[in-house]
Structure 1
């Protein structure tokens, strides 16, 4: 039996498994089966910890592999990073850790209030890095669907497009999200954010996540929302981003261009799986 921890950040939930000592044999089909909410454990992403190729002296660390419910791999996940950091803090009795991903290094720290801050690095704003299928102004993409149009785009380790809307509650998110995710302008698909700017320091956000659909929260999506809103003159460099599952504080630091995400984590339960009972 293979142990796992079920955790969430603002309702964005994860099954976290530790493969640092020996490979777990998690295939795309097996990841999708574990993530299934009827026949598996159920989660927005399956997280597999693997050995880090290198480490930061004096800090705990691990490589974090992120698998979507459809079995595809994601490059970054802010809420999952906070959850993994919490586990690493507990193992080492530390308040700092560095999590490695396919998109780069994510340093994390724990504050006195127990909330965890992750340095998500600088956003990538050129069209090649999002990536887009052709050269375009990432501040104003030629993209529309139903009631939404003219998004801004960036990469936070994974591709994001952010639409700005006057009333978030009126949008048919489940109807337009899938086709926007798969629009030909995004060769690797994209996470689609919908933002209502309440004030320069307060944004409301809903996200259709690539490979996962609507989720209660999306950490990298909140980072992209703040970055794109600031680029459009709709937000300051620091704001509270309210998602269906709760609030994150996002700061686009002026000194070095890095994006910082701060929020809580929670452990739902622990368990163990017979991986041989899932598709190979």
Structure 2
């Protein structure tokens, strides 16, 4: 199988052109290629496929083999791949995902894509539309039915989360220092908490000022990653809802920065960031 390794601010995936290649068992393949000791090494596997609804389809699998609805850093790299490889000559394309069809605007420099802006759509912020089941007697903390500063018990400690869906589930927690958190120890307890029947992505956030925040992320099915595009969008929405920032914010992650704009007129979230090709290769999946 021919593949391309790509990354968006450190969130790395193995990409396969399924116009030319066939992956019989993508869940198994994702586990195999993601292994950083015996495989290629990545946060997961992304298949670029034909689509009847859009210009292309992105099928995304986490490192544990589970299918993901959406990946913000991953979809930016899809945009770079299809343009740089000559699968399209358009600078505005659409990509089908399990979270719906997303629109991408490509910034081209010297014949190659350097940056991509993705219309991530409307965020899910109402409790009755989120995959969250609260404990007995718990009610949404916000009169509008949003899960803002909702208490949660994890490993004997009370935290407060804001829940946002960007096509996949996120909870955002504000802390004094994200890098003081033992993510390997606490991350799985959030991901697999009984409140979240589909598991959840968890962002630990410090607000720097009205225009800048920093975050670490524990991703569902992947563990800590250097970046999470949907997570950065969820953080921007959560921070605006909590009155901590404006609607335009720079989100600083381990791998770099993303520019997020929660547009007031359309209610859509726009994410802008880089996309980078790391290397290409061929691997035997037998």
Q: Give the TM-score normalised by structure 1.
A: 0.92
Task: Give distance in 2, aligned partners of 1:241 and 1:148.
Answer: 25
Q: Is the 8 A contact 2:33 2:44 kept in 1?
A: no
| Residue 19 (structure 1) aligns with | 18
| Residue 127 (structure 1) aligns with | 127
Cα offset, 1:45, TM superposition: 1.5
Task: Give distance in 2, aligned partners of 1:140 and 1:156.
Answer: 18
| Residue 143 (structure 2) aligns with | none
Task: Give distance in 2, aligned partners of 1:38 and 1:196.
Answer: 33
Task: Give distance in 2, aligned partners of 1:112 and 1:63.
Answer: 21
**Structure 1 unaligned residues grouped into runs of 5+:** 56-60
Task: Give distance in 2, aligned partners of 1:54 and 1:253.
Answer: 25
Q: Is the 8 A contact 2:53 2:96 kept in 1?
A: no
| 1:200-228 residue CA offsets vs partner (Å, 9 max, x unmatched) | 10000100000000011000000000000
Q: Is the 8 A contact 1:148 1:165 kept in 2?
A: no
C-alpha change, 1:194 and 1:111, in structure 2 (3 Å) is same
| Residue 65 (structure 1) aligns with | 59
Of 223, 235, 252 in structure 1, the residue corresponding to residue 233 of structure 2 is 223
Aligned length: 270
Of 77, 95, 101 in structure 2, the residue corresponding to residue 99 of structure 1 is 95
C-alpha change, 1:267 and 1:27, in structure 2 (3 Å) is closer
Task: Give distance in 1, aligned partners of 2:280 and 2:131.
Answer: 37
| Residue 116 (structure 1) aligns with | 116
Cα offset, 1:33, TM superposition: 1.1
Of 230, 237, 246 in structure 1, the residue corresponding to residue 256 of structure 2 is 246
Task: Give distance in 1, aligned partners of 2:83 and 2:104.
Answer: 10
Task: Give distance in 2, aligned partners of 1:54 and 1:250.
Answer: 26
What root-mean-square deviation, in Å, do the aligned CA atoms of Structure 1 and Structure 2 show?
1.6
Moved over 4 A (4+): none
Task: Give distance in 1, aligned partners of 2:188 and 2:48.
Answer: 29
| Residue 58 (structure 1) aligns with | none
Task: Give distance in 1, aligned partners of 2:71 and 2:94.
Answer: 14
Cα offset, 1:50, TM superposition: 1.8
Task: Give distance in 2, aligned partners of 1:112 and 1:130.
Answer: 37
Of 54, 57, 70 in structure 2, the residue corresponding to residue 76 of structure 1 is 70
Cα offset, 1:267, TM superposition: 0.7
| Residue 152 (structure 2) aligns with | 143
Cα offset, 1:126, TM superposition: 1.8
Q: Does 1:3 align with 2:12?
A: no
Q: Which secondary structure state, in structure 2, belongs to the residue aligned with residue 111 of structure 1?
A: strand
| Residue 87 (structure 1) aligns with | 81
Q: Is the 8 A contact 1:66 1:76 kept in 2?
A: yes
